[in-house]
Structure 1
Amino acid sequence: MRKNIIFLIGMPGAGKTTVGMEVSSKLNYNFCDMDRYIEEISNSTVKELFNISEDFFRDYETRACKELSSLDEKIVISSGGGVIKRKENIDFFKDKGIIVFIDRPVENIAKDIETSSRPLLKEGKSKLYNLYSERYNLYNDYCHYKIDNDKDIEDTIDNVIEVIKSNNK
């Protein structure tokens, strides 16, 4: 079975959107940023949804996973960093696509992430380290492939493309 859905997971600031846009462009796949999709289906910003509650946002996230996993097209989906908090989100994609963990060292993320624009990081960079320790094993457990994003972003993009091509021979 061909795996047309590429589902990118990883920490906020790991490079999922940047990598996803480039991979989709180079392979002529569609691209979806899950946070933008959630904003479309909710008619609210991610920040507004979080202001109601994190659970309220996560409910929309689960809905988005269910809807996006049923697509019958070649698509790269960049998830939010917390998508792994609900196993059912991953289960939607497990058999229908390739789940790729974009693994960027937390120290690198901390150097250049803008925390004020990310609802879960508004408390500052120390929260980033807490999220990392809380989520890292889940990313590893749920992915089909782990791609390091610790050097040149082009290497990361090429490695994701190689994984996709090897699974669609």
Structure 2
Amino acid sequence: MTQRHKLFWTTVQPDRICGVTKRSNNIYLVGMMGAGKTTVGRHLAKRLHLRFVDCDQEIEARSGVKIPVIFEIEGEAGFRRREAQMIEELTQLDGIVMATGGGAVLADGNRRHLVRNGFVVYLCAPPVALYQRTRQDRNRPLLQVNDPQARLAEIYAERDPLYRSVADLVVEGNRQSPFGVVRMLEKRMREQCSA
């Protein structure tokens, strides 16, 4: 951990640092597909001098296939089992910024691991914006339906309360660049820490 990162975190409560315990300096990004978790996560990790991990990319790297192939062969249930194992493993690491998959919050166990082991940030964007960002992406198995915009709205309605239930901080990132979201996130985390 760099000196700058230490200073950022040690300016607040010594026992519990804004939802991040002393043994875990982790930040977990949750939110819908297309919310910007991976892009924001990379930038945030770089600014805080932490390691960035994308849960979905880790699953792909270890399985040797893309997520749509896992969905095709094992179904969503098979993918969710892999995701739960990966989240359990990754939340044991220290000093990471992790982008979770959009459906990671569906499992109680995943939510518990996230809440216990790090500071959870919900990157929130409205379904219309999410659709604009994901409509050309064929690597979104849940959106390969006749009306992907309606399906995205259904998924959002189901998951939004779950994201909010685990979030230490909700960041509305619809109209900002990833850099703007990172700056806003840093500011809001500092404000929350000093409150």
TM-score (norm 2): 0.80
Residue 183 of structure 2: aligned partner: 158
1:16–1:60 Cα change, 3 Å: same
Identity of aligned residues (%): 29
Residue 112 of structure 2: aligned partner: 91
Counterpart contact for 2:169–2:189, Cα < 8 Å = no
Give 1:108 shift.
1.1
Cα deviation code 1:48-86 (max 9, x no counterpart) = 1111210100000000111001012x1110011000110
Cα distance in 1 for partners of 2:132, 2:191 equals 33
User: Secondary structure of the equivalent of 2:34?
Assistant: coil
Residue 79 of structure 1: aligned partner: 100
Cα distance in 2 for partners of 1:168, 1:28 equals 19
Q: Residue 106 of structure 1 is aligned with which of 120, 124, 127? A: 127
Counterpart contact for 2:128–2:149, Cα < 8 Å = no
Counterpart contact for 1:5–1:97, Cα < 8 Å = yes
Q: Kindly indicate whether residue 90 of structure 2 is the aligned counterpart of residue 65 of structure 1.
A: no
Cα distance in 2 for partners of 1:130, 1:115 equals 18
Over the residues paired in the alignment, what is the CA RMSD in angstroms?
1.8
User: Secondary structure of the equivalent of 2:138?
Assistant: helix
Unaligned 5+ runs, structure 1: none
Residue 22 of structure 1: aligned partner: 43
Residue 118 of structure 1: aligned partner: 140
Cα distance in 2 for partners of 1:119, 1:99 equals 25
TM-score (norm 1): 0.91
Cα distance in 2 for partners of 1:151, 1:76 equals 22
1:168–1:37 Cα change, 3 Å: farther
User: Secondary structure of the equivalent of 1:95?
Assistant: helix
User: Secondary structure of the equivalent of 2:163?
Assistant: helix
Poorly superposed stretches of 4+, deviation over 3 Å: 162-169
The structure showing larger relative contact order (alpha-carbon pairs under 8 Å, at least 6 residues apart) is: 1
Q: How many residues align?
A: 168
